[in-house]
Amino acid sequence: MTATIVSACQSDPNQAPYDGAMVLAISWQSAFCERAQRRPECRRVKPDRYDTTNFALHGLWPQPGSNIYCGVSDKDIATDKKRRWRQLAGLGLSDELKQKLWQMMPGAQSYLHRHEWIKHGTCYSNSPEVYYQDSVKLLAEINASEVQELFAKSIGQELSGAQIRSAFDQAFGKGAGDRVRIACKRDGKRMLITELTVGLRGSAQKDMAELIANAPTTKRGCPGGLVDQVGFQ
């Protein structure tokens, strides 16, 4: 199953129709947890957990960025904005998908998956199952590429933006790195790479190289930083 290029946004005159443009936001969880140590997903990290050497799913965001909360009630929007994500309705995902999502999206322990669905997923598909099937499929492609290999072998070391973008070029074709933006945050004297956002356009069932090539270029963002290791420093 995959999303069609039709969404609830098209019935709302204040929101642009979803045309297949999206951003895949992927986190380096160890860096995220340095600043969120009390989160459930950060308190229970073990060195052999998936997200200690792989990227974690933050979200899949239809573009433009104004396409949010499609067909969502004012009550649910208010609940979401207050970060009371546990109070949002469950998504009814299949057991197989839940298993994948709990591995690849550790933030689900804090009900991040409900937040991402209500804010972004409702503008992508009418089905949470489709939204997260496509999300984990795209993340799996990144984590099976030279990009993940670069980060895994560089844990505890610095990476430049040029190195990261070059890894995308190697993995998904020349120019792919120009569709990647790097986010960093300072942690004491250290500058940590926290997240990558990857521009995509088209059906999620297409080849990743094609999806990236169809997306517009973006600014590099952070010039580089440390690939954090598991555990609080």
Strand partners, 62: 22
**Are 105 and 3 a contacting pair, CB within 8 Å?**
no
Q: Are strands 180-187 and 158-160 parallel, antiparallel or unpaired?
A: unpaired
pLDDT of residue 132: 98
Domains in the chain, CATH or no CATH each = 17-226 (3.90.730.10)
More confident residue, 174 or 34: 174
Place of tokens 């098209």: 10
User: Distance between CA atoms of 67 and 174, rounded to whole angstroms?
Assistant: 29
Look at the pTM and tell me if it is higher than 0.75. yes
pLDDT in tens, 186-200: 989 999 999 999 999
Helix, strand, coil percentages (3-state) for the chain, rounded to 5, are 45, 20, 40
The backbone region for 175, taken as left when phi is positive above 0, alpha when psi lies in -120 to 50, beta otherwise, is: left
